[in-house]
Amino acid sequence: MRAFTYERPDNVAAAMQAAIQPGASFIAGGTNLLDLMKIDVEQPTHLVDISRLPLREVTETPDGGLRIGALVSNTDLAADQRVRQRYPVLAMALLNGASGQLRNQATTAGNLLQRTRCPYFYDVAMPCNKRQPGSGCSALTGFNRMHAILGASQACIAVHPSDMAVAMAALHAEIELQTPAGLSRKMPIAELHRLPGQNPERDTTLARGELITAVILPPPPAGRQTYRKVRDRASFAFALVSVAAIVDAGGGKIRDARLALGGVAHKPWVPKEAERELAGAPAEAGSYEAAARSALREAQTYTHNEFKVPLAERLLARTLGELATGG
Amino acid sequence: MAQVIGQPIDRIDGRAKVTGTAAYAADNRAERMAFGSIVTATIARGRVAGIDANAARRMPGVLLVMTHENAPKQAPFQAKADDRHARPKPQLADDKVQYFGQPVALVVAETAETARAAASAIVVTYEKADGAFVLESASGAAYNPGKGPTGAPADSKLGDFDKAFAAAAVKIDAIYKTPYQSHAMMEPHASLASWQDGKLTVTSSLQLVESAHKSIADTLKLEPDKVEVISEYVGGGFGGKLPVYGDAILAALAARELNRPVRVALTRQQMFHVTTHRPASIQRVRLGAERDGTLTAITHQSLAQSARADEFAEPIVFSTRSLYAAPNRMTSQRIAALDLPVADSMRAPGEAIGLLAVEQAMDELAVRLDMDPIELRLKNEPKEDPEKKVPFSTRALVPCLTEGAKRFGWDKRNARPGQVRDGNWLVGMGVAAAIRGNFLREAEARVTMESEHHAVVEMDMTDIGTGSYTVFAQIAAELLDLPVENIKVKLGHSSYPDTPGSGGSFGASSCGAALHDACTKLKAKLQKGEGAQGLSATGSVKPGDEYKKYSQYAYGAHFAELGVDQTTGEVRLRRMLGVFAAGRILNAKTAHSQLIGGMIWGVGSALEEETVLDPRMGAFVTQDLVHYHVPVHADVPQVEAVLLDEFDPHANVLGSKGVGELGICGAGAAVANAVYNACGARVRDYPITLDKVLPALTRRQG
Ligand SMILES: Cc1cc2nc3c(=O)[nH]c(=O)nc-3n(C[C@H](O)[C@H](O)[C@H](O)COP(=O)(O)OP(=O)(O)OC[C@H]3O[C@@H](n4cnc5c(N)ncnc54)[C@H](O)[C@@H]3O)c2cc1C
Ligand code: SF4
């Protein structure tokens, strides 16, 4: 860990001011950032601790949605009655992430902005374009069992590790931001994380010094919701593949399906084509399987992650079936 | 004399541990202590061409940068020795890099943070050489190590295997692979070294204090009485703390250089390369049987990694020599020297991975014979050791299997895979045998009356979490007829009487037998009626002929029930039972905890654990506990161990055998066999992760 300076402002304006200086980084729960600092992957010279900012509330929005403060802990959010009743997919995703202790400390914004778990990213002795642009991607021809099958580039095949973000993508959440200029802006969650392209060092579209202040959930969509995570052990492991799904079905037909896949791409992956195909389709196995196939149609695999394609297809088809038929 | 030995009493060190007052190596503090941080090599083979430490040296608070250019001269490394763990372990001795992660520099600073930051600021350049990293491609370079770490010969042969196998009515010929594994014990390695009046004290996290004492003294070319090694609390060892590593030696060298105490701790990430690992293996098992299940031919051949830097021959096939009867048999052990970090013992070296192969092969044979796998094992129960041709000291495999079958409800198992469903889960059961060699080593113990009713026991033995403190207190209490609370047990100082330490499950029996002797002698003195206070006796034990005259093993049987998700291939254990016989049990509670710990590790070996090698770099890419998976609570919902009554009169005076490793032996094979029974996936390449199960599921469903 490199030496750094530290401050803990108690209001948003002061935090924004503090974050302007070069080398500054926000720190919330610190469960990701500190680990990365200890192993020299992140080297901020100034930490702006935002944990005392008044961003810990979950409040109702006028249209019937929820506004989740950036600092609401993963534990509190998962336990919130409104979340559990109206957005069960989100509560489930949160509880499928990390461990109880980590969730107590982890924040909503920190969870969105956690960095990939590609093992090469974690060892400064190994080439990694995300950590050191231009050094090469060790995973491309190396150990890539956990890696992306959709939307990757030759420069980086890492996946975004968050569970919570996958549920939020299916819920069409919005991200509320403060810019260093003091303006507030919003963007759909789909625009927050980016695909690696030629700049894998950039995980998101956030500009330097921008602060996430809240995540806004639109009113709960009609239909049944679930989050299903497939992993190498029963708990405390990142997703190999996960599915967040909200399916509104009745009378033998699917009215609407909202889907997002985790563990397959550099961002929560929304299979738009599959969603379109499902809208109005008969609620039967053939529809689910066809949708699952089209969700994975563009998949590209590497040495160790071929299994993710059949796995994601099977998981998606089964999840759709369970939600649509009330099974 | 009240019966104290065997009672399930709580650990006498439990309170100190749960209240945080038990000081583990890195918890120790010393006046003016400085902190060291190790810089490790980022190539697997070659030499250090240059080290630029200018930036590090200039950082405020940095006291010392040690590299091969300025490291004090130490004794040379020895390839072979009677006690591998007592050899000199010179650090930064030259510019040669023999494996990825080898220490190439040490930075010492006023704070741990500064030391670490300075270590990151050191720029090392290398001249890289090609290396061999892949076991699969190294079979040409495989060689016969002559013998394994326990001294048994690498090869054995009886009868005419080829002929019998060719003639066998039913055969299995299969290759099994086990991956690199890391000990991943909770407490990372750390050492605090200080010098006073020319005497070195090293407080470290070690299993073998006596070996470490010699290793450290010899490395630094010191007289033995100029070195004291202390290891009072150890947060798990599992074989990974048998050797002495750079933390201890470098702390000692730096402390001498700086004339102040120095602590060096490894990071979790460093442990995967700096310390040892279990070597990967490729094993071929061939079984030939008659239609009724009688085995006529057995072979077990193994190839395992060994480090070019330091040879280790994992004794994978040894227990196969004693497990089942068959007139024609052959075993062979080969190793291949690769340019990888050093392989060494990890919980039940040999059996832990050997049985993953042999006990899965037995299951495959049972399937082919259409025979119950327990029946098959009962059918091949030997009357004496099938290769050594000596009697078993005790052998309770049959009762373990039959008692376990009864308790587990084995009769409810459906022998055909894929028949039992529970929602989306395909449910299966598996069984496997456990066998683990029992050893006795030379040991000494001293017991002294501190007052009329209080005694103190001293040994340089360690308690690596197994319960040594507690069982020794029980032994002394029973023999001296004192309450357990009146016995103080002092372990882990090299100045105390010599013991073999903790390793190979020999600790409790060897030290316990020496202590038994000491207490018996003390009791004789006490009976003379002179005042008790200050009376002291030293006892000892030496392995005798019993080890040649009898085949000595502990046995057990594992039963596992698990579910396989028919969509995803996820495997989740539901319940597991182990039934064991390991001589007399010294403390039913700590023994139970050792056994279920071993079983859980077996579950991990079967389903999760793998230190992944990147063959391009010769480096392990799993370098933390996010990437290196061991079972979590949710993975082991119900694990039970049952101990059968036994007393082994040939093992030692206590009649006890080791239990620390028995639990892992065969446990993973029971899990693998249950996976097959659940869904028909026969995975011979451990760990059985879902990607290896999926193909069988997609085939099933067409
Ligand atoms: C062992 C382990 C296992 C885990 N398993 C899982 C898992 O299974 N699933 C899962 O989803 N997650 C998992 N996690 C990740 C965990 O969820 C994240 O570490 C956590 O959510 C990060 O939150 P934090 O508040 O601690 O973030 P921090 O570490 O404080 O910050 C992370 C990043 O976000 C930035 N940041 C934080 N808040 C803001 C803000 N308001 N505006 C702008 N930038 C901000 C910081 O600058 C930093 O770059 C695991 C973590 C660990 C250590
Ligand atoms: S996949 Fe991305 S994060 Fe991983 S090594 Fe390649 S560039 Fe780095």
Has residue B8 been placed in a domain? no
Longest dimension (CA), chain A: 63
* Cα of A156 from ligand 2 centre, angstroms: 5
* Cα of A128 from ligand 2 centre, angstroms: 5
Residues B114 and B189 in one domain: yes
Predicted pLDDT at A327: 47
**In 10 A of CB B21, how many CB atoms?**
9
Residues B535 and B601 in one domain: no
A41 → chain B, closest CA residue: B120
The alpha carbons of chain B give a radius of gyration, in whole angstroms, of 26
Residues B578 and B677 in one domain: yes
Has residue A213 been placed in a domain? no
Overall domain count for chain B: 3
Chain B within 8 Å of A285 (Cβ-Cβ)? no
A141 → chain B, closest CA residue: B616
- Going across the sheet that includes B227-230, the strands are B62-67, B103-109, B34-40, B262-265, B190-196, B199-204, B227-230
Has residue A99 been placed in a domain? no
**CA B349 vs CA A54, A174, B352, B661: distances in Å:** 55, 54, 6, 9
Q: What is the pLDDT of residues A93-128, one digit of tens each?
A: 999 999 999 999 999 999 999 999 999 999 999 999
Chain B within 8 Å of A9 (Cβ-Cβ)? no
3-state secondary structure of B76: coil
Residues B314 and B410 in one domain: yes
Which amino acid is residue A75, in one-letter code? Answer: T
Q: Which residues of B are catalytic?
A: 661
Q: How far does A307 lie from chain B, in Å, by closest CA?
A: 6
Contacts with B524 (C-beta within 8 Å, 6 or more apart), sequence order = none
- Give the closest ligand to the alpha carbon of residue A75: 1
Task: Give contacts of A125 with chain B, Cβ < 8 Å.
Answer: 42, 619
Has residue B449 been placed in a domain? yes
Task: Give contacts of B691 with chain A, Cβ < 8 Å.
Answer: 145, 307, 311
Q: What is the pLDDT of residues B407-444, one digit of tens each?
A: 999 999 999 999 999 999 999 999 999 999 999 999 99
Task: Give contacts of A240 with chain B, Cβ < 8 Å.
Answer: 690
Q: Write the residue with the smallest CA distance to atom 19 of ligand 1.
A: A32
3-state secondary structure A150-195: CCCECCECCCCCCCHHHHHHHCCCEEEEECCCCCEEEEEHHHCECC
Contact between B117 and A2 using a beta-carbon 8 Å cutoff = yes
Of A166, A172, A161, nearest in space to A66 by CA: A172
Among the candidates A15, A32, A48, a domain finishes at: A48
Contact between B690 and A311 using a beta-carbon 8 Å cutoff = yes
Residues B207 and B304 in one domain: no
Has residue B640 been placed in a domain? yes
Predicted pLDDT at B504: 86
Among the candidates B275, B291, B319, a domain finishes at: B275
> Rounded to an integer, what distance in angstroms lies between the CA atom of residue A193 and that of residue B393?
66
Has residue A174 been placed in a domain? no
Has residue A289 been placed in a domain? yes
Which amino acid is residue A1, in one-letter code? Answer: M
The alpha carbons of chain A give a radius of gyration, in whole angstroms, of 20
Pick from A36, A117, A118 the residue to mutate for probing ligand 2's pocket: most ligand atoms within 8 Å of its CB. Answer: A118
Pick from A115, A156, A203, A266 the residue to mutate for probing ligand 2's pocket: most ligand atoms within 8 Å of its CB. Answer: A156
For chain B, the first-to-last Cα distance in angstroms comes to: 69
- Residue list, ligand 1 pocket, CB within 6 Å: A 25-33, 35, 50, 70, 74, 97-98, 102, 105-107, 109-111, 113-114, 161-164, 211-212, 238; B 626
* C-alpha angle B224-B226-B228 in degrees, rounded to nearest 5: 85
Has residue A159 been placed in a domain? no
Which amino acid is residue A106, in one-letter code? Answer: A
- Give the closest ligand to the alpha carbon of residue A114: 1
Contact between A233 and B607 using a beta-carbon 8 Å cutoff = yes
Pick from A123, A130, A160 the residue to mutate for probing ligand 2's pocket: most ligand atoms within 8 Å of its CB. Answer: A130
* Cα of A158 from ligand 2 centre, angstroms: 5
ipTM of model: 0.97
Boundaries of domain holding A10: 5-48
Task: Give contacts of B624 with chain A, Cβ < 8 Å.
Answer: 122
Chain B within 8 Å of A102 (Cβ-Cβ)? no
Task: Give contacts of A303 with chain B, Cβ < 8 Å.
Answer: none
CB proximity under 8 Å: B 150-209 to A: none
Task: Give contacts of B569 with chain A, Cβ < 8 Å.
Answer: 311
Residues B125 and B210 in one domain: yes
Has residue B4 been placed in a domain? no
Among the candidates B236, B258, B275, a domain finishes at: B275
* Cα of B114 from ligand 2 centre, angstroms: 29
Query: Are B273 and B189 contacting, i.e. CB atoms less than 8 angstroms apart?
Result: no
- Residue list, ligand 2 pocket, CB within 6 Å: A 116, 118, 120-121, 128-130, 137-139, 156-158, 200
Of B53, B620, B57, B267, nearest in space to A38 by CA: B267
Which amino acid is residue A227, in one-letter code? Answer: Y
> Rounded to an integer, what distance in angstroms lies between the CA atom of residue A266 and that of residue A68?
24
**Which runs of consecutive H residues, i.e. helices, occur in B370-506?**
373-379, 397-408, 468-480
For residue B207, the surrounding DSSP H or E stretch is: none
* Cα of A204 from ligand 2 centre, angstroms: 15
Q: Which residues of chain A have pLDDT under 50?
A: 327
Residues B173 and B235 in one domain: no
B687 → chain A, closest CA residue: A232
Chain B within 8 Å of A6 (Cβ-Cβ)? no
* Cα of A226 from ligand 2 centre, angstroms: 30
CB proximity under 8 Å: B 566-595 to A: 567-570, 572
Phi-psi region of B567 (alpha: psi -120 to 50; beta: other; left: phi over 0): alpha
Q: Which residues of chain B have pLDDT under 70?
A: 1, 702
Has residue B145 been placed in a domain? no
Residues B520 and B643 in one domain: no
Has residue B111 been placed in a domain? yes
Q: How far does B695 lie from chain A, in Å, by closest CA?
A: 9
Among the candidates B239, B256, B275, a domain finishes at: B275
Residues B72 and B219 in one domain: yes
Contact between B694 and A307 using a beta-carbon 8 Å cutoff = yes
Q: For residue A157, which atom of ligand 2 is closest to its CA?
A: 1
Has residue B143 been placed in a domain? no
> Rounded to an integer, what distance in angstroms lies between the CA atom of residue B3 and that of residue B268?
43
A1 → chain B, closest CA residue: B117
Task: Closest CB to A123: pick one of B120, B623, B690.
Answer: B623
> Which of B122, B627, B692 best probes binding to A when mutated, by most A CB atoms within 10 angstroms?
B627
Task: Closest CB to B629: pick one of A39, A233, A314.
Answer: A233
Query: Are B665 and A208 contacting, i.e. CB atoms less than 8 angstroms apart?
Result: no
> Which of A230, A307, A319 best probes binding to B when mutated, by most B CB atoms within 10 angstroms?
A307
Chain A within 8 Å of B608 (Cβ-Cβ)? yes
Has residue A155 been placed in a domain? no
For residue A17, the surrounding DSSP H or E stretch is: helix A12-19
> Rounded to an integer, what distance in angstroms lies between the CA atom of residue A274 and that of residue A296?
9
Query: Are B562 and B427 contacting, i.e. CB atoms less than 8 angstroms apart?
Result: yes
Residues B434 and B445 in one domain: no
Which CATH number belongs to the domain containing residue B257 in this structure? Answer: 3.30.365.10
Of A105, A139, A134, nearest in space to A35 by CA: A105
Which CATH number belongs to the domain containing residue A302 in this structure? Answer: 3.30.390.50
Peptide bond into A22 cis (omega under 30): no
A327 → chain B, closest CA residue: B423
Boundaries of domain holding B565: 155-181+278-438+549-700
Query: Are A122 and A41 contacting, i.e. CB atoms less than 8 angstroms apart?
Result: yes
Predicted pLDDT at B1: 65
Chain A within 8 Å of B42 (Cβ-Cβ)? yes
φ, ψ of residue A106 in degrees (nearest 5): -75, 140
Residues B451 and B529 in one domain: yes
Q: For residue A229, which atom of ligand 1 is closest to its CA?
A: 8
> Rounded to an integer, what distance in angstroms lies between the CA atom of residue B524 and that of residue A258?
82
* Cα of A189 from ligand 1 centre, angstroms: 16
Residue length of chain B = 702
For chain A, the first-to-last Cα distance in angstroms comes to: 51
Pick from A36, A120, A147 the residue to mutate for probing ligand 2's pocket: most ligand atoms within 8 Å of its CB. Answer: A120
φ, ψ of residue B411 in degrees (nearest 5): -65, -15
Secondary structure (DSSP) of B257-300: HHTS-EEEE--HHHHHHHS-EEPPEEEEEEEEE-TTS-EEEEEE
Q: Write the residue with the smallest CA distance to atom 8 of ligand 2.
A: A128
Query: Are A235 and A99 contacting, i.e. CB atoms less than 8 angstroms apart?
Result: yes
Has residue B342 been placed in a domain? yes
Query: Are B340 and B279 contacting, i.e. CB atoms less than 8 angstroms apart?
Result: no
> Rounded to an integer, what distance in angstroms lies between the CA atom of residue B523 and that of residue B537?
9
Contact between B567 and A307 using a beta-carbon 8 Å cutoff = no
Overall domain count for chain A: 2
Has residue A262 been placed in a domain? yes
Predicted pLDDT at B553: 97
Has residue A14 been placed in a domain? yes
Residue environment code for A100-122, b if the CB has 16+ CB neighbours within 10 A, otherwise e: eebbebbbbbbbbbbbbbbbbbb
**In 10 A of CB B591, how many CB atoms?**
27
> Which of B37, B124, B613, B614 best probes binding to A when mutated, by most A CB atoms within 10 angstroms?
B614
Q: What is the pLDDT of residues B468-499, one digit of tens each?
A: 999 999 999 999 999 999 999 999 999 999 99
